[in-house]
Structure 1
């Protein structure tokens, strides 16, 4: 499985095409996907469609996307907020997603159907709050700490001698395993379409 990561400030997406199937003329390029994902409203629409995996009417999608944008519930959106989101999706965002082959947008019926291409694309959104650091740096730091620890254990530095070499080795392995489990859970939360709300809303 090939993966490409695009970093842009505090926000990045990782796109992993499915290993099943072969590219078709409707498969979007990575550049096209990045262009689609560059807009938050389109990311919200993609999240909703990937999570529900069924045809949805434009009004329902606009209400849900608008609610996420304004940090409220669909039934509390004002008429202006609902109309602005509806119009933007109808005139700009859904046609662009349709052209990219991610959805099938029926303008006449006002319905949106996720395509097989959208179902086969894994999109991860990483939000790195100010003061935090990405997992790559965490694992680098973890490696340095464990290397230093094992070196000190090998040199019989007190009080590390209170535990045996095997016990320290088990401790280091358990530390890595716990880190990997936490990383996996957090990564799943950052994937579009796996949780009821988009990663950006959860953050």
Structure 2
């Protein structure tokens, strides 16, 4: 009988190779799984299953729906189907004792395919792109002394742009601090 390495029995995605693309698409195929991942991202990477259920019910409910039966349906599907699917792909970890769902470090592989939209509709990536283009355009107009921009000194323009950039990065890091801290220790 030969020696079998433990690594031989571990799927590729949990050895740090990242999730295979077909697995990511399979995980993201369902709207409730996408909603669960988005809610967990907004909640610093973890939430009680009841909070997760409530968030998805609010997302799916309309004025005519029976929220009690919808809540039951969402809870059951999360508990029986979606969380096990996400857990099987090592995207979340579910603690059955505390009923807490946590994102794993592997969830970052899914983020590349899941364009998460915050409530206000603009992602951080889009914000930084818009900010960079606007700052560059204003700086060029000031330097080229075009029309109204000729009277503006370039130093305050650049200073304001850098301060806004620093504040934006600081805010983003602060609001996502627990995700970053948790990823350091996992």
**Distance in 2 separating the partners of 1:86 and 1:70:** 14
Q: How many pairs does the alignment contain?
A: 155
**Distance in 2 separating the partners of 1:53 and 1:24:** 18
What do residues 121-163 of structure 1 show as CA deviations (whole Å, max 9, x unaligned)? Answer: 7957245859xx933144223212211211218xxx88845x6
Distance verdict in 2 for CA 1:89–1:141, change over 3 Å: same
Within the candidate set 81, 86, 93, 2:70 is matched to 81
Deviation at 1:99, TM superposition (A): 1.2
Distance verdict in 2 for CA 1:116–1:141, change over 3 Å: closer
Instruction: Tell me which protein shows more strand as a share of its residues.
Output: 1
The aligned residue for residue 169 of structure 2 is 184
Q: Contact 1:104–1:114 (CA<8 Å) still a contact in 2?
A: yes
What do residues 43-96 of structure 1 show as CA deviations (whole Å, max 9, x unaligned)? Answer: 44335556376684x455323432344389xxxx72111122113213331121
- Unaligned stretches of 5+ in structure 1? 1-22, 195-203
User: C-alpha root-mean-square deviation of aligned residues, in Å?
Assistant: 4.7
Correspondences of 1:132-143 after superposition (within 5 Å): 134-135=126-127, 136-143=129-136
Distance verdict in 2 for CA 1:24–1:100, change over 3 Å: closer
Name the SS of the counterpart of 2:116 in structure 1: strand
Distance verdict in 2 for CA 1:177–1:114, change over 3 Å: same
The aligned residue for residue 169 of structure 1 is 154
The aligned residue for residue 15 of structure 2 is 25
**Distance in 1 separating the partners of 2:117 and 2:102:** 23
- Unaligned stretches of 5+ in structure 2? 1-12, 180-186
The aligned residue for residue 103 of structure 1 is 92
Instruction: Tell me which protein shows more helix as a share of its residues.
Output: 2
Distance verdict in 2 for CA 1:66–1:145, change over 3 Å: same
Flag the structure with more relative contact order, 1 or 2, with Cα contacts below 8 A and sequence separation at least 6.
1
